[in-house]
Structure 1
Amino acid sequence: MRRRPSSSTAAARRPDAVSKAVSRFAAGWAQDALLVLAGVLAFFVVAGRFELFERLQAATRGLEHWQLDELPLTLLALSLGLLWFGWRRVVDARQALAARTVAEQQAQALLTENRELAQALIRVQDTERRALARELHDEFGQHCTAIRADARYIARATDVPAVAEGACRIDESAERLHGLVREMLDRLRPPDLDSLGLEAAVQALCERWEVQTGIGCAFVPRPGSPALPDDVAVTVYRLVQEALTNVARHAEASHVQIVFEPLPSAEGLRLRITDDGCGLAPDRHPAGAGGGHGLAGMRERVAGYGGTLKLDNVEGGGLRIEADLPLENLPA
C-alpha cells in the first residue's frame, strides 16, 4: 500500500514556496543592482570620453548669478539621498517579508493542527456511532424481536378476546419500535457501507430513493476513482444522502446524476451531484436546515479533510454540488 504524505509534510510545502519567493526577490534585487552599476560605469566612460563635466561647467559658468553652477553637486547629493532612501525601503521590505513569512508559517501550522483535530474528532464520532449502532442492533433489536414473538404466542394461545387484542397491539407497537430502531441505525451508521462498500452502497441508496420519490437517479462511478478511508467514505455517503433529501424536498427535479471521478490535479475523489430542478434561489442559503445534519455540516466535514464543497446553479435550470476530497491532506 502506497504511503500518503502526512499533513505535516503538506504543511511544509507552503514555507518552501515562501522561501523560493524570497530567493527570487533577492536574485531580482541583485540583478537590478548589477544593471545600475553597469549603467553608472557606462556613463563614466562616456563622460570621460566626451568630457561632459567640463562641458557642463562651461555651459553653467555664465549662470553664476542664479547659482545654477551648483546644480551638478546638488543632483549628486539628491542621488545619494535617493540611494539611501531606496536602501532603507529595501531593508524595511525584507523585514516585512520575513515577518509575513513567519506569520504565514504560523497560520499554516494552526490550520494543519485544526484540520488534524477535526479529522480526529470525526473519527472518534464515527467510532462511537458504530459502537452505539452495534449495541442497538444486538440488544434493542433482539429484545423487540422477542417481544413480538411473545405477543404473537399469547395471541394464539389465549381464548380471551381482550387478551388477544392486547397482544396484537403489543406486537404492532414492537414492530413500530423495531422500525424506529432500524431508522436510528441507518442514521448512526449506514449498514450498506460495511457489507457492500461505498460505490455499491451509493448505488443501493439511489435505487431506494428512486423508488420512494419517483425521481430518476443515475450513479456513474468513473474509472480510476480512488478507494477512500472508512471515515471519508461515511462523509461521502452522508453528503449524497443529504443532497438527495434536499432534491426531494426543494428541487422539483425529474432526474439526478451522481458522479464519482478522480481529481484531475491530485490523488483524491471528486463527487458531483447534478439535478434538473429549479436551482438555488439567490436569497436562499445553500446549507440545508438542521444545523450539523444539513449541507452546512457536510461543508464542515469536507473542509476538515482539506477538501472543498461548491454549489452552483446549472445553466438551463438545476443545481450542481461538487465536493473535492484530496487524499494527500489525510494523515498516513
Structure 2
Amino acid sequence: MPRENAPRSASSRPPSSTVWRDLACVVVVTAIVAALCVSFDVSELAYRWTRRAERFQLDELPATLLMLALGLAWFAWRRWRELQRELVRRHALEKEAERLLDDNRRLVVQANDAQERERRHLARELHDELGQYLNAISLDGARIRDLSAQRDAETHRLALNVVSSATHVYRQIGTMIRRLRPTGLDELGLATAIEHCVDGWRERLPDATFSLAIEGDFGGLSDRLNITLYRLVQEGLTNVSKFARASRVEIYLVRAPRDAVDGRDEPEMREETRDAGGVDEIVVTMADDGPGVDLAAPRAGLGLIGMRERVEALGGEFRIASEPGNGFMFCARVPAHAGLAEPVAVN
C-alpha cells in the first residue's frame, strides 16, 4: 500500500509568484475602474441620480462602503491567518501520524519475525523430539506385533493398534510441521516450497482446479520476504478452501522490473503495475472464479488484514478486487530487496 505522502510545509503556503500576480491583477482592475469613472463622470451622474433622495443621505454611502470593504478585508486577513495556523497544525499532525505509522510497521515486522522464529523453533522441536519418540514407539510396536503373531492374538491386535496410532500421530505432526514451517523453503527455495504447498491443496480440494505460474529468479531474497510471499499464497489457498472449494484458482508469481510486468491481472490492478518503472519487485496474484464477496460489507475475519500488514510492513502494496458472483482476486507487490540489510555508505 501505497500510503499517501504527507504534504510538505512549502505546499501549505501559496507561491510568492502567485501572490504578486494576484496583487498585480487587483491594481490593474482598480486602475481600469478609475479610468472608466473619470471618462464617464460617474460621481456627477451619481449625484444627479441621487439628489432627489438627499433626505436619505445617500451621498454618505461611499464612505460607508469603504468602511465595509476595509472591515471585510480585515476579516479575510484574520481568516487567512487562522487558516495558516490550521495548515501548520495539520502538517504537524500528519508528520506525527506518519511517524506512528512507521513505528507500527516496524512493530508488525518485529512481531512477524518473532512469530516465525517461534514457529521454526516449535517445528524443529516437534520433528526432533516427538518425531524421534513416535518413531521409536512405532518400531517397538512393530517388534511386539511380529513376536506375538503366533503366540497371543490379543497382544498382536493391540500391537497393531499401537503401530497404527503412532503412524497416524506421526503424519499429523508432519502436517503441523509443514504449517509451522514451509517444507523445503530453507533448503530448496521459495518456488519449490510454493509448488509443494499448491500440490498439497490439490489433494485436499479435488473439486478445485489450480494453475500455478512462476517466472523470474527468486534467489537472494531475505528470509522475511520469502516467508511473507509463502504466507500470502498459503492464506489465499486457505480462503479458497473456505469460500470457493469448487472454483478455478490461478496463481501468478513473478520477479521483474516494474515496467516489465505485463499486466496479466484484472483491469483495476493494471494501473497499479504501470507506475514509474525500473524497480526490481515481486508480484503475487491469486484469482478464483468462486462466489466472491462484497468488499463494502464488514468482514469478521482477520486473514486479509494480516496479509495487508505483512506486505505493507515490507514497503509493498496490497490490493483486492471482488464482487458477489464474480470471484475474488488479490495482488501484492513487494520490492525484491525488502528485508535485506541496507548497504553502509563508505566515506
- Range class of TM-score, shorter chain: 0.7 to 0.9
Report the Cα distance in structure 1 between the residues aligned to 2:146 and 2:98, rounded to whole angstroms.
70
- Give the aligned partner of residue 268 of structure 2: none
Residues 31 and 38 of structure 1, relative CA distance in 2, 3 Å threshold? same
Q: 1:239 Cα shift?
A: 2.7
Give yes or no for contact 2:225–2:339 (8 Å, CA) kept in 1.
Answer: no
- Give the aligned partner of residue 225 of structure 2: 232
Residues 284 and 164 of structure 1, relative CA distance in 2, 3 Å threshold? farther
Are residues 1:274 and 2:287 paired? Answer: yes
The unaligned stretches of length 5 or more in structure 1 are 1-9
Q: 1:44 Cα shift?
A: 4.5
102-111 vs 252-261, greater mean Cα deviation: 252-261
Report the Cα distance in structure 1 between the residues aligned to 2:151 and 2:24, rounded to whole angstroms.
109
Matches within 5 A, 1:164-183: 164-183=156-175
Cα shift readout 1:105-146 (whole Å, capped 9, x = no counterpart): 111111111111111111111111111211221222122222
Give yes or no for contact 1:254–1:277 (8 Å, CA) kept in 2.
Answer: yes
Report the Cα distance in structure 1 between the residues aligned to 2:204 and 2:66, rounded to whole angstroms.
87
- Give the aligned partner of residue 152 of structure 1: 142
Residues 75 and 227 of structure 1, relative CA distance in 2, 3 Å threshold? farther
AA aligned opposite 2:115 = Q
Are residues 1:95 and 2:82 paired? Answer: no
Residues 274 and 135 of structure 1, relative CA distance in 2, 3 Å threshold? same
For normalisation by structure 1, the TM-score amounts to 0.79
Matches within 5 A, 1:190-209: 190-209=182-201
Are residues 1:134 and 2:124 paired? Answer: yes
Residues 226 and 75 of structure 1, relative CA distance in 2, 3 Å threshold? farther
Report the Cα distance in structure 2 between the residues aligned to 1:22 and 1:40, rounded to whole angstroms.
29
The unaligned stretches of length 5 or more in structure 2 are 259-272, 343-347
Are residues 1:322 and 2:331 paired? Answer: yes
Are residues 1:111 and 2:101 paired? Answer: yes
> Greater relative contact order: 1 or 2 (C-alpha under 8 angstroms, separation 6 or more)?
1
232-241 vs 76-85, greater mean Cα deviation: 232-241
Report the Cα distance in structure 2 between the residues aligned to 1:237 and 1:220, rounded to whole angstroms.
14
Give yes or no for contact 2:223–2:339 (8 Å, CA) kept in 1.
Answer: no
Report the Cα distance in structure 2 between the residues aligned to 1:91 and 1:226, rounded to whole angstroms.
56
Give yes or no for contact 1:252–1:278 (8 Å, CA) kept in 2.
Answer: no
Report the Cα distance in structure 1 between the residues aligned to 2:38 and 2:300, rounded to whole angstroms.
75
- Give the aligned partner of residue 262 of structure 2: none
Cα RMSD after superposing both structures: 3.5
Give yes or no for contact 1:305–1:329 (8 Å, CA) kept in 2.
Answer: yes
Are residues 1:251 and 2:244 paired? Answer: yes
Cα shift readout 1:213-243 (whole Å, capped 9, x = no counterpart): 2322111235588975323332332232232
Q: How many residues align?
A: 316
Structure holding more helix per residue: 1
- Give the aligned partner of residue 76 of structure 2: 86
Report the Cα distance in structure 2 between the residues aligned to 1:310 and 1:282, rounded to whole angstroms.
9
- Give the aligned partner of residue 4 of structure 1: none
Residues 181 and 85 of structure 1, relative CA distance in 2, 3 Å threshold? same
137-146 vs 164-173, greater mean Cα deviation: 164-173
SS in 2 for 1:321: strand
- Give the aligned partner of residue 14 of structure 1: 5
Residues 182 and 264 of structure 1, relative CA distance in 2, 3 Å threshold? farther
Are residues 1:310 and 2:301 paired? Answer: no
